[in-house]
Structure formats: structure tokens, C-alpha cells
Amino acid sequence: MSGEDSHTESVIPLEKRHAAAAADLHIRGISTGFLSSLGPAFLEQIYKALPRCRAGFGYVWEDNGRVLGFIACAESTGRLYKQSLLRRGILMALPLVRFMFRWSVIKRLWQTLRYPADVGTDVPAAEMLSIAVDESARGRGVGQALVAAAVEEFRRRGIDRFKVAVWAGNDTANAFYERCGFELALQREHHGLPMKVYVIDTARSS
């Protein structure tokens, strides 16, 4: 190319080939989360399963082929868990073998699987499960672009409301969701931590 800037940025659907990058971003960007403590091999299997599950979808932000952000969503978290286990259950279990005698980890895994039923019926089943942006790309509107893509996909699927849960002490994340148009619906505990659950109306979100 004759001196032209080849810099390209785009939001595209998350595919199997993005799984390792998404797992790495998850661990670096959501370090306080329980799933991060299970390691990159486990998370990679989750993000390999996601694009093949009818109940889930995701997007990545690519800059010249490098994944600098991702978002993962579910029409129903419970259905997504079931579909993921059917597709990659054995491969998801292998990285967890080292935790099989650690009761605290097994208990938290069970709480995670129970979470969709425990969160209650006052909020929608559809959910934004995770979002992370590489530190080098923050401040460039990556997070907002990923949320906008998720809103549009939920809208396309006929889902008018979805939720996101975030640690109550994460002021940056809480402020981000409020800027994106989410409204606080309830507060609860998950894995012993205070969580805020926000809901957004896709019909009103621009």
C-alpha cells in the first residue's frame, strides 16, 4: 500500500477462533470473578462453545486482526449452560479436574450453575454475561460499541430486555453500565459478594 493507513477496526461476531483471546481478556479484565479463577483453559472451552449454542452469542472488537475487546450474551443463561455442557462438557470438565477435591470450588461451581434460578423472576432471563476491553484500547468507545452490538442482536431476536450483574464495589463498571442506559433492578449476593443487577430496555436504547 502506498503510504495509506491500513488501520482497521470492526465489531464482528465472536467465533471459535476468538476463544483463546476472549479467555485471556476475561482473566485480565474480570480478575475478581469466580470463572477467572478456574483458568484460561476452562474459559477457552466456554468461548468455543458459545458461538455454537442457539441460546448464546458474542462479539469481538478487532483492530488489525487483534482482539481488543469482547462481549458474551445469552437469551437464557440456564439454557446456554445446558447447551454448552452438551457440546463441550467433557472438554470443559478436563481443566477442572485439579479442583475436584476442593470443596470451596465445587460449592461455587454449583452456585454458578444455580445462579439463573436463584436470581429470581423479577428480572429478564436474557443476560450480558461478560465484557472486557484490553487496557490499551480503553477510552476509545470499544465497550460502548460492543454493548450496542449486543443490544441490536437481542432486539433482532425479539428480546426487549436483558440484564447484567456486576460486583457492587466495582465503581468503574457500575458507572459504565449506567452510561450505557442500564437501570439498577436489584441487589443480591453471589459467591458471598454484594452484586448489583442492572436491566436495559432494548426498545428504548439507541
Cα distance between residue 129 and residue 197, in whole Å: 11
pLDDT for 16-37, tens place per residue?
A: 999 999 999 999 998 777 788 8
| Residue 175 backbone phi and psi in degrees, to 5 | -65, -40
What is the domain extent for residue 170?
10-201
114 in a structural domain? yes
Query: Would you state the torsion angle of the CA atoms of residues 66, 68, 71, 72, taken in this order, to the nearest 10 degrees?
Result: 50
Cβ–Cβ contacts within 10 Å for residue 53, how many?
Answer: 20
pLDDT for 89-146, tens place per residue?
A: 888 888 778 767 676 666 666 565 555 555 556 789 999 999 999 999 999 999 999 9
81 in a structural domain? yes
pTM over 0.75: yes
Residue 127 and residue 81 in contact, taking contact as beta carbons nearer than 8 Å: no
5 in a structural domain? no
Task: Give the pLDDT confidence score for residue 1 in this predicted structure.
Answer: 37
206 in a structural domain? no
Number of domains in the chain: 1
End-to-end CA distance of the chain: 37
2 in a structural domain? no
Cβ–Cβ contacts within 10 Å for residue 21, how many?
Answer: 20
Question: 77-93 and 103-118 helices cross at what angle (nearest 10)?
Answer: 160
Higher pLDDT, 156 or 106: 156
CATH of the domain at 32: 3.40.630.30
Q: Where are the alpha helices (H) located in 6-120, listed in sequence order?
A: 19-29, 34-37, 40-49, 77-93, 103-118
35 in a structural domain? yes
Cα distance between residue 111 and residue 164, in whole Å: 17
